[in-house]
Every structure is written in C-alpha cells, then in structure tokens.
Amino acid sequence: MNTDFEKELRQLTIFQNEIKKLQTGQIDIVTKLNESKFVLQELKLLPKTAKVYQLVGPTLLEVTLNEAKENVENRLDLLGKEEKKTLEIIKETQQKHDKKKNELIAFQRKLMQPKNVPKKK
Amino acid sequence: MTNKSSFDLNNLNPLQLNSLKEQISSEYQKYRQSYTQLLEIKSLYSNTLFSLESLQPENLNQPILAPLTESLYLPGKLTNVKSVLTDIGTNFFVERSVEDAQEYFKRQTKIVEEKAQEVLKTMKQNEESLKAVNTVLERKVYQQQKKFVGQQQQQQQQQKSLKKIKKINKPFKKKNLFF
C-alpha cells in the first residue's frame, strides 16, 4: 500500500512542477505580448512619412510603416493564440493535479481506518 | 495575487502563518527588483536626453570619438545633427528628428515613472499585510507559550498533590488494622 501511495505522491509532484514551468512560460509570453502592444502603439503615433527600420540579425533593413504595423500585428496574434493555449494547458494540468490530490486524501483515509476499527471493537 | 482578504488570519495556526509570511516576503523581493529595474530604465532615459542635448546644429562638424567596440573608439566628425534612430522595442527602430526623439524619451520617462509608482503602491500594501501577519503570528506564539507554561504549572501542582495524598494514605492503613 505504501509504495502505491508513494507512486501517487510522485505523480502529484510531477504535476506541480509542470504547472510551475507552464506558469513561467506564460509570464514570458505575456511580457513579449506587452512589448509588442507597446511597439504597435508607437508605430500608430508616427506620421506616414516616418522611416522605420527593422533589425534582422546583424542587418538593419528599412521597412515601410504599413509593413512594420502588419508585422507587429501578426506577432500579436500569434502571441495571443499561444497565451490562450498555455492557459488551457495550465487549467487541464491543474484539474489533474486537484484530482490526484483528492485521490491521495481518500487513500490516506483508507490507510488510517484499519487502525481505528480494532479500537472500536 | 493576495488571497488574504478571503479568510481570517486568526483561523490559521503558526505554521501556516509562517509559510504565508515567507510567501509575502518573496513577493516583496520581486516587487523590489522590478522597482529598481524601472528606476534604472528611467536613469537610462535621462542619460539619453542629456546626450541628445549635445546634438545641436552649432555642433555640426565637431570632432567626436565614435565607439567601434567597448574599448576601441574612432575619431570622426559629427555630420548629422538632425535625425536619430530610436529603438522602440522588438527590433524596430524609427528615424526621428532630434526634437521628436526628445519628446519620445520624455514620454517614455513619464510612463516608466507611472509604472514605478504603481509598483511602489503594491510594495506598501505588501508591507502592511506582512505586518498584520507578523502581529497575529506573535500573538499566537505568545498564547501557545502561555498555554505551555500553564500546563507545566498544572502538572507540577498535580504531582505535588499526588505526593500529599500518598503521605496521607499510608498511616490510614495502619489505623484500619486496629479497628
């Protein structure tokens, strides 16, 4: 019985670690998202005659304002989708984790009961 | 983030209060980190504003030392005092006039200042909740200690009374024999 309990406990800790990793990944995505929103805001404030350059590797390329806006908007879309995905995965793993926890608690109660029964007799 | 408002601190035992305390202080550290980061960014912006001031039309063709690497500089002449490239993030740069760039950096410093003030607010709230947790924790520990001391005293009294009863019981046995 005890080894089964240990196995379940290990599963629980695995779930916890997964959730932590996903949450840190989520924080990264959110910061990138905020940065891109900020860039888009700045680009919108620019007059149409402004020159915009994009750093691609070691080269600085001139891009049109519309191209730059499209670029950033696409990036925002992708990041938003990624964020939703990771949120869903976090929810799922959290549900699995809570289920395991309840199972473990029920398991613990079962382990405790046989000790109580002889006293009642 | 803080779930403290949803339950009463008094319902927690000292162990739980301790873990809550650790949680709050780690949050505080994080807030402090972001606050110092924001202040650094703010000073960076003020430095850029300062260097932008030297890009005046009267400084055209002045000799400058242009950095090639961190320790290698090239002598040159200042040829462009009208436009600069400003980094707006995610590898995008915008060419602006010196005045526009100055305005841009002033705007940025405002935004960063506002964010820093927000972080400061949450830090203060954090401090207050930490104080509250600490006072409840101290009170509980004091109560526990009092209980413990009281229990010890009770035990000592019980032992004393037991000894007295033993002393009284012994002579009674002898008297019964006579009756």
User: Rounded to an integer, what distance in angstroms lies between the CA atom of residue B88 and that of residue B94?
Assistant: 7
CB contact under 8 A, A35 and B89: yes
Tell me the three state secondary structure of residue A96: helix
CB contact under 8 A, A35 and B95: no
pLDDT value at position B114? 94
Whether residue B141 lies within 8 A of chain A, CB to CB, comes out as no
Mutate to test the interface with B, among A36, A39, A45 (most CBs of B within 10 A): A39
Q: Is the pLDDT of residue B153 over 70?
A: yes
- pTM attached to this predicted model: 0.68
Average pLDDT of chain B? 86
CB contact under 8 A, B88 and A51: no
Whether residue B94 lies within 8 A of chain A, CB to CB, comes out as yes
Distances (CA, A) of B173 to B122, B164, B165, B167, B179: 76, 15, 13, 11, 10
Whether residue B92 lies within 8 A of chain A, CB to CB, comes out as yes
Low-confidence ranges of chain A (pLDDT < 50): 120-121
CB contact under 8 A, A52 and B94: yes
